[in-house]
Amino acid sequence: MKFNFWKFKGGKSKGCSVCAIALLSFTAGSLITARLAHIDHVRADSNRVFELRIYHTVPDKLPALESRFRDIYSKLLAKHDLQVVGYWVPEGAANWDNTFV
C-alpha cells in the first residue's frame, strides 16, 4: 500500500512553497514570542562558581569520610585548580546525624 501524504496538486513547486511558508511562519512566531517574553541575559559579577555537596553517611563512618576529604580529596581538587572553602559537620540536630557538608 502506498501513501501519498505529501503529494500536492500542481507539482513539486507547490509542495516546496508550502514547506517554505510553514518554516517562515515558525520562525516569525519564535521571534515574536522571544521579543514579547523580554528574555534578558543573566550575567554574573564574577567568574566564580560555588558548589555545595551534602553527604549522608552510614552510622559511625563520618570520621572516615571526614579524614578522606581532609587528606585525599582536598589535594585532588587543588590539583585541578578547585579551591575548597571548608567542610562542616552539623551538630545538635538529630535529623542531621551522620551528615557531612
Residue extents of the structural domains in the chain? 55-100
In this prediction, residues 6-31 reach a mean pLDDT of 71
List the one residue out of 56, 53, 52, 54 whose CA is nearest residue 97: 56
Phi, psi dihedral angles at 100 (to 5 degrees): -125, 125
The answer to whether the Cα torsion of 45, 41, 81, 64 is positive or negative is positive
pLDDT by residue (tens digit) across 78-100? Answer: 898 888 888 888 888 787 888 99
Place of cell 581538587: 77
pLDDT by residue (tens digit) across 21-70? Answer: 888 888 888 777 777 666 666 677 778 888 898 999 998 898 999 999 98
